[in-house]
Structure 1
Amino acid sequence: MKLLFVHQNMPGQYREFVQWLADTNDHDIIFLTQRKKPPVMKGVRTVIYQPHHRAADDAYELVKTWENAAGSGFGCAMAAQTLRDKEGWIPDIIIGHVGWGELTFMKEILPDVPVIGFFEYYYSVTGGPVGFEPSSPPSAHSPFIMQAHNTVPDVNIDRVELAQCPTEWQKNRFPARFHDKMYVCHDGIRTDKLLPDPDVQLGLGRLDRPLTRADEIVTFVSRNLETTRGFHQFMRALPDILAARPQARVLVVGGNDTSYGGKSKHPSGLRGQMEAEVGDRVDWSRVHFLGQVPYESYQKLIQISRCHIYLTMPFVLSWSLLESMSMQATVVASDVAPVQEAITHGETGLLVDFFDPAALAAQVVDVLARPDAYAHIGPNARAHVVKTYDFLTVCLPEHLRQINALVPADKAIALPA
């Protein structure tokens, strides 16, 4: 089969799926992306395209999202047209993320090719991160800006045959008129690779020996240290955690930029702001900020953790939560709707009020002090992720079934044995 994948930041949500397809050696795969230095994926041909237009920094806010989306969509369509006209390459199916407008004009170039779009998020001033924190209420203009962002999914639902949504919570963010085209299936977690390791060791530069599972390790992981992912609440819990557990060490992974939501006005970013807020109430010799680390190091960090903290406002669920559960971490997480879909309190994880750092600290301290009382959490978490989110046995077969329903029978992809 000829498959065209589209994502501005290749591979995005298609990391496992594209590589599995390529490894079968049965398919002709092209990936369209804006990423200047995309990863090399064996068996996948990468085509880099440029947006035809970008909105000016001072563009009118209510049309800026659509202006950028239209520019990306037209640039992407022109790249597909070049493949069609110069090489005669026409895919059997197109699979891509709709969020940046890249699929918007594909039907003008390839009208008979079915499209599966990844629909990630629908904006509003209720139920999500906007307006969630009382200290940061939405502005008078926020409802208009949120609705302007929704122009892209509103247009693209009519440009696809199917819409993939990774969780029920995300699906339910979209209006009911979207739902008939939607199927819910996560990207998939490689539980066969993300395993616990009782013998894991992790070296840190300022320590004279590697850390092991015998150490009292607390972990916090986010792409960037930001309010949407609760970094500020995590930092407010640190003084109580470290005071109660004098042997504990805290390992923090994440960059100092902002992926979602507003940026801190502090000159050193949110990390600097929170370090100043908690000040000398924290024993900084036991807190290790590791920045953004290689994937192998991240795995070891989770495998070594006695208590892993995952905080988020109501927003798209991080891969790191499910990956941590797959590695049998004892997770203390924020008690918000998207997390509740993955964690049952007391069974597959522990849920705390996002706005209560004292409760967060108390729960983490109890996990550190009484690990045997929580020994069931990690194995239960892994069993749940294997059953619900495993890539090879759950998510991959479902994605293949959805693709096969849109293509001729002689093009169907065989389900894994």
Structure 2
Amino acid sequence: MKILFVHQNFPGQFLHLAPALAARGHEVLALTDEKNQRPSPVNVVRYKAPPETKMPPMLGRTYCEHTDRGWLAARGCRALRDKHNFRPDLIFGHSGWGETLFLREIFPDAKLLVYAELLYRTRGQDVGFDPEVGSDSDEARAGTVARSAHLIQGLVQADAGLSPTEYQASSFPPELRQKLTVIHDGIDTEKVRPNPQAEFLLPDGRKLHAGQEILTYVSRSLEPYRGFHRFMRALPGVMRARPDAQVVLVGGDGVSYGAKPKDAESWKAKMLAELDGQLDLSRIHFMGRVPYPQYLSLLQVSRVHCYLTYPFVLSWSMTEAMAAGCYIVGSDTEPVRELLRDGETGRLVPFFDQPALEAALIKGLAGDPERERITQAARKVIVDGYDLKTGTLPRLIDWVESFAP
């Protein structure tokens, strides 16, 4: 087949699938935003990035942004068709930014698949979950409905969709859920594995080693959606109880989800101000965003890894932490419960129960006698059900190829 991937940040979720399909003899091409400079495993063409313009106010803003991007992606596809005579048999695009919305008009005979990551909902997910940060007002819920329009439209137009977890697929209503297949992106468990000899270099030149009391936290951005504020508030008690513990946080200072705090330049700045005088900052290390090998080494030296999240998209970092043999203290929220079982593959605590979080982190750092059993069971979950090479990638290939004309 001729296969066209569409993703503004390509390769994104298609990092392994696109080259695997190319290796099987398919002609694979990817369309992405002109500003995207990420290395690609397949040939890439770029569409013109949307201009910085003043968006309409209120509820139409998100839809306007994503339909504009969708039209620019469609124009890029039109150029592929008219100037380069490229006509794909199959298109597989991420629906999150509207890029697939008009592709049927350019390639009406192609099968259209979408990566349906999550549908925003007004109840039972992130909206109103954390009253400290977000609102459950009529306005907030109306905004959520409006932000879902392009996602619904994208899946309605598609022949089929793919979601990485059952929880994320369940965010879509039954009439759309029936179009979805659940296959995780997959974890390379040969690369992501325990390493008793692992080391992690701190900015000041000190080396941390597996076996030390190291508490880790990883998120694309340090923000409430991933429980950053709850984690930070647990640190004074944890660090008093474990005076030798080192705390390492990976994540940027911006926001990936939600909004910036109104009274600080970042959530990191806000939490450090709130906890001023309560933390031994010589033992807390904010690494920002780090290269993948460094991130993997951090998971491998971790004694306790904390993963907290609203009811939302599950982070790759949690599945990779399980594969790396981490002892995970996680939030007892639905996306986490799909993989992590309390007392079996990790420790679950209610998202808002600060004493329970502190106690679980302290117990893990002190040396939970069940640690080895729990971490081995966590890795087995990933090896058996989410391994890239033996499980998810062959299933993804079969799924895509099932749509061959």
Q: CA deviation at 1:174?
A: 0.7
**Relative to structure 1, is the Cα distance of residues 4 and 352 closer, same or farther in structure 2, using a 3 angstrom cutoff?**
same
Name the residue aligned to 2:404.
407
Rounded to whole Å, the distance in 2 between the matches of 1:11 and 1:392 is: 18
**Relative to structure 1, is the Cα distance of residues 384 and 229 closer, same or farther in structure 2, using a 3 angstrom cutoff?**
same
For 2:88, which of 87, 91, 100 is the aligned residue? 91
Rounded to whole Å, the distance in 1 between the matches of 2:323 and 2:38 is: 25
SS of residue matched to 1:211: strand
Name the residue aligned to 2:31.
32
Asked if 1 retains the 8 angstrom alpha-carbon contact of 2:215 and 2:306, the reply is: yes
Rounded to whole Å, the distance in 2 between the matches of 1:111 and 1:125 is: 34
Q: Give the stretch that moved more between structures: 253-262 or 148-157.
A: 148-157
Name the residue aligned to 1:225.
222
Name the residue aligned to 2:19.
19
Partner amino acid, structure 2, of 1:275? L
Rounded to whole Å, the distance in 2 between the matches of 1:41 and 1:60 is: 36
Q: CA deviation at 1:35?
A: 4.8
The Cα offsets for residues 309-347 of structure 1, whole Å up to 9 and x where unpaired, read as 001111100000001101010000000001000101111
Rounded to whole Å, the distance in 1 between the matches of 2:99 and 2:389 is: 28
Rounded to whole Å, the distance in 1 between the matches of 2:97 and 2:135 is: 26
Q: CA deviation at 1:7?
A: 0.5
SS of residue matched to 1:243: helix
Asked if 1 retains the 8 angstrom alpha-carbon contact of 2:9 and 2:36, the reply is: no
Name the residue aligned to 1:236.
233
Q: TM-score, normalised by structure 2?
A: 0.96
Name the residue aligned to 2:187.
189
For 2:77, which of 68, 75, 80 is the aligned residue? 80
Name the residue aligned to 1:151.
149
Partner amino acid, structure 2, of 1:241? V
Asked if 2 retains the 8 angstrom alpha-carbon contact of 1:19 and 1:41, the reply is: no
Q: CA deviation at 1:144?
A: 1.4
Partner amino acid, structure 2, of 1:29? V
Name the residue aligned to 1:263.
260
Q: CA deviation at 1:370?
A: 2.1
Partner amino acid, structure 2, of 1:288? H
SS of residue matched to 1:220: strand
Q: CA deviation at 1:55?
A: 5.7
Q: TM-score, normalised by structure 1?
A: 0.93
**Relative to structure 1, is the Cα distance of residues 79 and 35 closer, same or farther in structure 2, using a 3 angstrom cutoff?**
closer
Q: Give the stretch that moved more between structures: 28-37 or 177-186.
A: 28-37
Q: Give ranges in structure 1 of 5+ residues lacking alignment.
A: 409-417
Q: CA deviation at 1:157?
A: 2.0
Name the residue aligned to 1:173.
171
Rounded to whole Å, the distance in 1 between the matches of 2:246 and 2:263 is: 26
Q: Give the stretch that moved more between structures: 47-56 or 148-157.
A: 47-56
Percentage identity across aligned positions? 40
Name the residue aligned to 1:160.
158
Name the residue aligned to 1:415.
none
2:350 is the alignment partner of 1:353: yes
Rounded to whole Å, the distance in 1 between the matches of 2:384 and 2:227 is: 28
Partner amino acid, structure 2, of 1:137? S
Q: CA deviation at 1:387?
A: 1.5
Aligned residues: 404
Asked if 2 retains the 8 angstrom alpha-carbon contact of 1:221 and 1:310, the reply is: yes
SS of residue matched to 1:228: helix
Give the superposed CA RMSD: 1.6
Partner amino acid, structure 2, of 1:297? Q
Asked if 1 retains the 8 angstrom alpha-carbon contact of 2:125 and 2:312, the reply is: yes
Asked if 2 retains the 8 angstrom alpha-carbon contact of 1:53 and 1:68, the reply is: no
Asked if 2 retains the 8 angstrom alpha-carbon contact of 1:332 and 1:350, the reply is: yes
Name the residue aligned to 1:201.
199
SS of residue matched to 2:249: strand
Q: Give the stretch that moved more between structures: 106-115 or 391-400.
A: 391-400
SS of residue matched to 1:378: helix
Q: CA deviation at 1:372?
A: 3.4
SS of residue matched to 1:173: coil
Q: CA deviation at 1:76?
A: 0.9
Rounded to whole Å, the distance in 2 between the matches of 1:55 and 1:315 is: 29
Q: Give ranges in structure 2 of 5+ residues lacking alignment.
A: none
For 1:46, which of 41, 44, 49 is the aligned residue? 44
Asked if 2 retains the 8 angstrom alpha-carbon contact of 1:345 and 1:351, the reply is: yes
